[in-house]
Structure 1
Amino acid sequence: MNALIVRGGWAGHEPVACTETFRAFLERNGFTLYVVDDLDVYTNRDALASVDLIVQCWTGGRMTAEQENGLVERVRDGAGFAGWHGGVLATGYEAAQYQHMVGGRFINHPGGFVDYTVDITGKHPITAGLASYAVHTEQYYCHVDPALEVLATTTFTGEHGAPETAGVVMPVAWARRFGQGRVFVSALGHSPADLEVPQTRTMTERGLLWAAGLAIPQG
């Protein structure tokens, strides 16, 4: 199995440190890793053809049409795509096909770093055995595709100068099929510390495996 890690963009989301958080996990699960810091890898159809999983952590990127088409077509043809926070949700705003594939886009995080609850919803191998839990980080308000398979949500209170959000139940993590490929997205992961929260780490690791089409160990 081959995993391509694409990282860069805005340094505030620590793309190198965040992706390194999962290096050993991916290697233990049989992946050979290829790490790049250039979105142009998405234009290399030969390189993408051998990739089983694409892990992206690139906040604020602007994709060319060729980059967008290469990525979207590879996922549609069967590669997994996974990522978290701004690395997938706050990038490629002009890329409609990319936005459709990911299933959501970041709009705002009222109050910056706040306390809130992540509620586990439904039944899925990615979240099996996990219970709702508290976090202190950015509460992402996103525009999302109604066709997503939602794995976790958060409920906005309307505080922090955003009364219009009161009562809104917002997806925090989701999975979706895209053509022959699989997509896993989590809004959690501003920093390595956020990704090390046990429930978040478990959900993210399982999401990586699921996106690659691998069985998820339970327990």
Structure 2
Amino acid sequence: MNVLIIRGGWAGHSPVETTSLFLDLFAEHTVRVSDTLETYDDRAALAAADLIVQCWTGGALTASQEANLVDRVAAGAGFAGWHGGVVATFYEASRYQYMVGGRFLCHPGGFVDHRVAITSEHPITAGVADFDVHTEQYFCHVDPGLDVLATTTFEGRHGAPETAGVTMPVVWTRRFGAGRVFVNTLGHSPADLLVPPTDTITRRGLQWAAGLPVSA
């Protein structure tokens, strides 16, 4: 299997450090790591990729880069990532946004205590109990057709009373053409991704998107 990792953009999300946490998953596979979006211009590299892992906050795709990426996922590649690296990026790329199924809007209060509720017995979340985190609580616009695996409920605090009672997807999957998309909105930093339930979910999500057996 061939894995393509695209990492860069805003350094505050530690793209090198966070993607490096999961390289061991693919020790028996071929991994190519790129620090430029120009790789999305390389159709041969995309055609060879069975899984594309992206951690790139901010920036913009050219029309051809967007088309090449979206078309490759629709043709059967997996696409996976976390936090701002997939949902706080490429805001002008509507086909990309449609493929991913959500886009980040805000996180009231910054780093706050909140609870993540597991809502599915999908293999990615099977056996994982609800858990508490202290990190950004992402408020997103999301596609109603997502397969939601975990949610968080806003309490209307931190100067955003209009969010009270809103239940927001935290982890989701999406079938996109012949491809598989996995998104986890947790993961601001390596420490956030190392929280045991978050680590488990992210590792399983990467495996699922790649079409590999999901770890028990």
> TM-score, structure 2 length as denominator?
0.99
SS at match of 2:133: strand
Name the counterpart of 1:213: 211
Among 30, 33, 40, the alignment partner of 1:32 is 30
> 1:122: Cα distance to partner?
1.8
CA RMSD of aligned residues (A): 0.6
* In 1, Cα distance between equivalents of 2:176 and 2:156: 33
* In 1, Cα distance between equivalents of 2:209 and 2:163: 31
* In 1, Cα distance between equivalents of 2:138 and 2:29: 30
Name the counterpart of 1:12: 12
* Matching of residues 181-200 of structure 1 within 5 Å: 181-200=179-198
* In 2, Cα distance between equivalents of 1:200 and 1:31: 23
> 1:40: Cα distance to partner?
1.1
> 1:25: Cα distance to partner?
2.2
State the Cα deviation string for residues 72-115 of structure 1 (Å, max 9, x = none).
00000000000000000000100000000000000000000000
Matched, 1:76 2:69: no
* In 1, Cα distance between equivalents of 2:118 and 2:150: 4
SS at match of 2:171: strand
SS at match of 1:71: helix
* Matching of residues 52-201 of structure 1 within 5 Å: 52-201=50-199
Say if 2:117 and 2:152, in contact at 8 Å, map to a contact too. Answer: yes
SS at match of 2:86: helix
SS at match of 1:66: helix
> 1:217: Cα distance to partner?
2.4
* In 1, Cα distance between equivalents of 2:82 and 2:45: 23
* In 2, Cα distance between equivalents of 1:195 and 1:112: 17
Where structure 2 has 5 or more consecutive residues not aligned to the other structure, the ranges are: none
* In 2, Cα distance between equivalents of 1:195 and 1:69: 30
* In 2, Cα distance between equivalents of 1:195 and 1:47: 28
Where structure 1 has 5 or more consecutive residues not aligned to the other structure, the ranges are: none
* In 2, Cα distance between equivalents of 1:206 and 1:43: 29
Report the AA paired with residue 181 of structure 2: V
Name the counterpart of 1:44: 42
* In 2, Cα distance between equivalents of 1:121 and 1:80: 23
Identity rate, percent: 68
Total equivalences in the alignment: 216
Say if 2:121 and 2:127, in contact at 8 Å, map to a contact too. Answer: no
Runs of 4+ in 1 over 3 A off after TM superposition: none
> 1:170: Cα distance to partner?
0.1
> 1:61: Cα distance to partner?
1.7
> 1:164: Cα distance to partner?
0.2
Say if 2:3 and 2:31, in contact at 8 Å, map to a contact too. Answer: yes
* In 1, Cα distance between equivalents of 2:210 and 2:182: 10
> 1:26: Cα distance to partner?
2.2
* In 2, Cα distance between equivalents of 1:140 and 1:48: 30
Report the AA paired with residue 12 of structure 1: G
